[in-house]
Every structure is written in C-alpha cells, then in structure tokens.
Structure 1
Amino acid sequence: MDLGLKGLRAILVGANGGIGRAVAHVLAQEGCDVAICGRSQEKVDKVLSEVAASGVKSYGEALDVTQVDAVPAFVDKAAEALGGCDIFISFTSINLGEDTDAAWDAVMQADILPMRRGVAAARPYLAKSGNGSIVCFSSAGAVEEFMGVQPYNALKAAVMNYASSLAQALAPEGIRVNCITPGPVMTEDGPWPKIKEAAPEFYEATLANMPSGRFTTGEELAKAIAFVVSPTCKAMTGANIVVDNGYTKRTQF
C-alpha cells in the first residue's frame, strides 16, 4: 500500500534516538522529508546520515527542549529548510519514577511543554499543508499500573485529553490530531536495554505482563505511526491508538 507520504515534510522533536529515531527511519523510507532535533549533536548527525540513505531532504540540530524558545525556533528553522510542515510529532520524555515536586516539574518541562510549544509553532505551517497531521504521545502508564504513584502516568493521561480537544479545535483548519499510546517499546538505544541490565526483576515482571511474550519493537510502533499520519488515514482524528502487544488490559473504547 502506498501511504502517500512521499514528498511530505515531518518535523520530529526529540528524534535523535529511541522511538523518534525509528519513526524518522520509517518516514524517510516512505519518501518523507524529515527534520529532527535532540540533546546530542553527535546523535542528531548520526540519524541524519541514516535517513540520507533514503534520498530525502533532512535538517537537524541539537537543542535543550526545556528552554522556552528552543522548540518554536527549531520548528521555524525546520519548516524553512524543508519548505513547510505536514507532520509534527514530539517524542521528548522523562520519568523520574517518583512523586515529588521535582519530578512533576521535570515531566512538565521535558515532556509536556515542549509538545505544546511545538504544536503551537507548527500550527500555521500545518494549516497550509492540506495534509496536516499531529501525533501526541501518551503511555500505557496512563491507564495501567506502572511504577506506582508518579507524575509521568498522570500527565500522560492528560495528553490523551489534550489531543482529543486539539483534534476538535484544529479540524476546521484541516489539521488532524491523534494520540498514540504505546506500552513498553524495545529499541537498541532506548531505556529498556538499560533497565534489563540494571533492574532485571522489574524488566522480567514487565515482560510477564505481555500476553504476546515480547515487547513492541521501535520499527513496529513507527510503522503504525506512519499509517496514522499518512493521507491514507485522512478520516482519523481525535483517536487514541494503543500499540502495546496487549500490555493494556482494559477494553479499549
């Protein structure tokens, strides 16, 4: 199936590794021009060299997403480099695993506010696209018990509400907004290989909650996202799409 992504332009915040890197790969393979940012210039350059193999246009820079003006400035520069923006996704995330003021502030500064600022900055470009699509990232931790009481889970639940409201508000501008809710995802440069080594009991307990007996891979999640943001999926907006290998046990409606 041709997803219709060829020639579209994706701006990806926090895509120098993990899930974001996997999404950059898949979108580039589908012919989508991509712009990425991340904390490490070395990692950004690595991803840019990887997507260059697909022959697409690319742009990238290192930045600190917790700085108020950083993400909006990146979006503007990326849109100028690519000639516009059709797809916007923010992947930045942090989870301190504790219920403290510092943890609440950390998740807001590194996860929630960069997403909101990026959406606001990308909106004018997306409105001109004709294929404008936003993906907001939640987590199975928002609906399943995961590491106890902590702000990460609560604020990821808020992302679902934000995406739903945003979908209604932006639909008249021709911009679709959907929420992706993944369970634990295994990528070579993501957190789970480190967790497996440092906290094997927690890793095995998490794996035991997977009825499939395995984690979702970054490529699997990236392919689902590519479909959701593509013109092929143009009638879907305001949806919360769970991609988790059965980790979430609730009825999903």
Structure 2
Amino acid sequence: MDLQLKGKTAVVTGASRGIGRAIAELFADEGANVAICARDAGQVAETVKALEAKGVKAFGQAMDIADAPGLKSFIEASAKALSGIDVLVSNASALVQGNAEEAWKAMFEIDVMGAVRSFEAAKPFLEKSAAEKGDAAFLITSSISAAETDNPNSYGAMKAAQIHYAKGVARENAPKKIRCNVVSPGTVYFEGGVWGNVKQNMPGFFESMIKRNPTGRMATPQEIAAATVFLSSPRSGFTTGINMVVDGGISRRANF
C-alpha cells in the first residue's frame, strides 16, 4: 500500500534508537524526508547518515526535550532545512517510574510538555501543510501503562495525560485538517532498551512478562513504527482523536 508520504517531511523527537529510530526509518522507507532529535550527538549524526542513505533528506540536532527554547529552535530549524513540516511525532520520554517528586517532574517536562511545546512550535507549519495538501498529522507515543496501575506511578499518569491532551488537539484542529492520534505500545523489546535491560538483569521477571502476553512475545520497535506511520499518513485521513493500543493483547480492558 502506498501511504502517500513520498516527498513529505516528518519530524520525530527521541529518534536515535528504539521506537523513535524505527519510526524515522520507516518514514524514510516511504520516501519522506525526516528530521530527528535526541540527546546523544553521536547517535543523532549516525541516524541522520543512515536516513540519508535511504535516498531522502535528513536533518538532526542533539538536544534535551525539557529545554523549551531549544525544542522550539529545533522544530523551526527542521522546517527550514526540509521546507516545512507535514507530520510531527512526539516520541521522546523520560522513561522514569515511581512516585518520587523527581520522577513526576521529569515525566511532566519531557513526556507531557515535550508534546505540548513541540506541537505549538510545529503548528504554523502543520497548518500550512494542511491548507496546501489537505492533511497534516501529529502523533504521540504513549503507553498501555496509561490504563493500568497498582500504585501511584508518574509514568502511567503522565502517559494518560498525553492521551487526554491529544483528544483535545484532535477536536480543536479537525476543521484545519490537522489530525492528532496516539499510539500506546505494550512491552517492546530491543537490545539496550528498557526490556532489553530487564532481560539481562532480571531474567525471571522478563520471562514472567513474556508469559503474561497471549502472543508469547514482546513487540518490536518496527511494529510500533508501522502503526505510527500508517496513522500519520493520508491513507488514515479520517482517523483523528484515537488511542491505538498496540500491545499484543496483554491488556484486559476493552478499548473503545
């Protein structure tokens, strides 16, 4: 299926590894130009080089998503370097759990305000794209943890806040043809990632999580990327305001 993304520009935050890297690479595979950011300058440079090798234009900056002026500058520099923005993916996460004040602050600044600030910075460019091409998209990477908890947890609560925020963005901007959707992964495995580290350091707990999923495995970053890129494409042009759970059936709730 042609997703009609060829020649468009996608900006992906937190995209030098894992899910974000897979999203950026799939956009490039679909012919879209891609701008990325992450904290590690070396990883950013390597990712940009890999994206360019796919035959598209790429742009990258090393930055901290919690740096509000820096985030705005990155979005504007991306639009300048790649001649606009058609799709924005807010993927960066603090990835911290628990009830400590530091965890709440980190999740709020990076996961929630990172999404809010990146959209506000990209909004003029998305509006221009939507007016000219009939469709623009804003995607947020949340988590199935937004819907399940056993104790006070900053990670799940802030991921839930992202979903609530996205619905408001979707309804407010639908008349302008800017869509907003959320992808909520379950457990995702890759070397060096959260579950990769759990497998190495806590193999018993890792195996118990594998057994919890009726599919008998965890997702790959590429499977989460596939859902994200499809939702961002004009092929999904009438879909806005949804939270797509991609968890292999590990959650028990009915999502409707």
When normalised by structure 1's length, the TM-score is 0.96
Matched, 1:136 2:140: yes
Which residue is equivalent to 1:45? Answer: 45
Matched, 1:152 2:124: no
Q: CA deviation at 1:95?
A: 3.1
Q: CA deviation at 1:187?
A: 2.4
CA RMSD of aligned residues (A): 1.2
Q: Closer, same or farther in 2 for the Cα pair 1:10/1:76, shift >3 Å?
A: same
Contact 1:14/1:38 (<8 A) preserved: yes
C-alpha distance in 2, partners of 1:96/1:136?
A: 17
Aligned-residue sequence identity (percent) comes to 38
Q: CA deviation at 1:149?
A: 2.4
Runs of 4+ in structure 1 over 6 Å off? none
Could you say what secondary structure the match of 1:157 adopts? helix
Q: CA deviation at 1:102?
A: 1.2
Query: 157, 165, 176: which is aligned to 2:168?
Result: 165
Matched, 1:77 2:77: yes
C-alpha distance in 2, partners of 1:172/1:107?
A: 31
The one-letter amino acid paired with 1:223 is A
Gaps of 5+ in 1: none
Gaps of 5+ in 2: none
C-alpha distance in 1, partners of 2:96/2:168?
A: 28
Q: CA deviation at 1:205?
A: 2.2
Which residue is equivalent to 2:93? Answer: 93
Matched, 1:182 2:185: yes
Contact 1:19/1:190 (<8 A) preserved: no
Contact 2:13/2:92 (<8 A) preserved: yes
Any residues of structure 2 matched to 1:93-112 within 5 Å, and which?
A: 93-112=93-112
Which residue is equivalent to 2:204? Answer: 201
C-alpha distance in 2, partners of 1:100/1:227?
A: 36
Which residue is equivalent to 1:2? Answer: 2
Query: 217, 228, 245: which is aligned to 2:231?
Result: 228
Contact 2:6/2:30 (<8 A) preserved: yes
Q: Deviations over 1:59-87 (max 9, x none)?
A: 00101111121111100000000100000
C-alpha distance in 2, partners of 1:198/1:173?
A: 48
Q: CA deviation at 1:153?
A: 0.5
Q: CA deviation at 1:157?
A: 0.9
Could you say what secondary structure the match of 2:138 adopts? strand
When normalised by structure 2's length, the TM-score is 0.95
Q: How many residues align?
A: 252
C-alpha distance in 2, partners of 1:125/1:252?
A: 32
Q: CA deviation at 1:5?
A: 0.7
